Amino acid sequence: MCGKGLISVNISEQLEKDGVVVLPGFLAGETLRSMQLAFASRLRRLRWNDVDGYEKTERFRHMVQNVLQLEQGFVDAAVHPLVTDALRSYIGPKFALVEAKGWKSLPTRRLFHGWHADAWYDQSVVATIPREVKLAFYLSDVRTGAFEYIRGTHRKQHPRIWRGHEISAFPAANIQRVAGPAGTAFLFDTSGIHRQSSPILEPRQAVFYNYHDPSVKLQREDLEYDRYHPLLLNAALLGGLSEEDRRILGFGDKTNYQPLFERKPLHKTLQAVQSCVFDGKILAGEFTGRVIARLRHTFRVGR
Ligand SMILES: O=C(O)CCC(=O)C(=O)O
């Protein structure tokens, strides 16, 4: 893992100025390879029953939640000193990692995720725009469907969705397009205007880590979805962390822990039908097993 030629002071200065910084070659070699394999294993099938996989809530993306559980490289990237030093300086000493997920974007010419800035905090109670930064990295080579960011649009207004005609007011030269090989990373202030560009001509695999101060009051939608629940981690991958790493990963922090939280199911009938069909399959399997055992017994006794 590198990030050649960059130091955290430069990174936070560039974040202040442009809102976006590219870290070429942030992941490489065996680390990158193991992360790609682990991520790909979650993309093979939809998560279901006792089988892990991706989540699907929209047409063109397969979501992989809680990537810090998957492989050491994901944890190491989250607390990489180049990143955390820059974020301490840019967001402030209370910054923490609050979400770690990735997705495969499927090829499409449809612009399904247009220009926007990320809404996350309760806009009715803040006096200034709280700082939030995402660290993103590609696990596949990206030529199309690259991330795009309009430099200098961060920290100017509360986050919202932007329409095409509003975007034409910005000079085209200010649009930073982040294409590159797997292992390319970038940091961006999420209050700046950004999107995944279109068309997407080949599948793109990317991971996004979200850092902000967890004590900032969250918007209602995110509380209702329990979006920023404490990170789900894998004990095997947590050796060798410093006290500060543990703080960044939220060890023991119950600020956004919602006891007894239950997400509202959106597909209740489908889920009930699926459960019934599956119960039937288990019952049929049990019955067939008993018939086979009886036949075997009968033939053995008759011989
Ligand atoms: O997938 C992308 O390139 C864009 C990601 C994005 O818009 C976001 O994380 O808010």
Q: What is the pLDDT of residue 4?
A: 47
What's the gap in Å between 302 CA and the centre of ligand 1? Answer: 69
Does residue 30 contact residue 72 with C-beta atoms inside 8 Å?
no
Ligand 1 atom showing the smallest separation from residue 116 Cα: 7
Does residue 189 contact residue 92 with C-beta atoms inside 8 Å?
no
Joined tokens for residue 40: 């790909």
What's the gap in Å between 25 CA and the centre of ligand 1? Answer: 20
CATH number, span 8-248: 2.60.120.620
What's the gap in Å between 270 CA and the centre of ligand 1? Answer: 30
What's the gap in Å between 194 CA and the centre of ligand 1? Answer: 7
Cβ of 147 below 6 Å from ligand 1 = yes
**Tell me: the pLDDT tens digits for 78-103?**
999 999 999 999 999 999 999 999 99
Cβ-Cβ contacts under 8 Å for 204 (sequence gap 6 or more): 104, 105, 138, 140, 142, 144, 145, 196
The gap from C-alpha 136 to its chain's centroid, in whole angstroms, comes to 8
Q: What is the pLDDT along the chain (303 residues), one digit of tens a residue?
A: 655 456 777 999 999 999 999 999 999 999 999 999 999 999 999 999 999 999 999 999 999 999 999 999 999 999 999 999 999 999 999 999 999 999 999 999 998 889 999 999 999 999 999 999 999 999 999 999 999 999 999 999 999 999 999 999 999 999 999 999 999 999 999 999 999 999 999 999 999 999 999 999 999 999 999 999 999 999 999 999 999 999 999 999 999 999 999 999 999 999 999 999 999 999 999 999 999 999 999 988 777
Cβ of 132 below 6 Å from ligand 1 = no
Number of C-beta neighbours around residue 73 at 10 A: 22
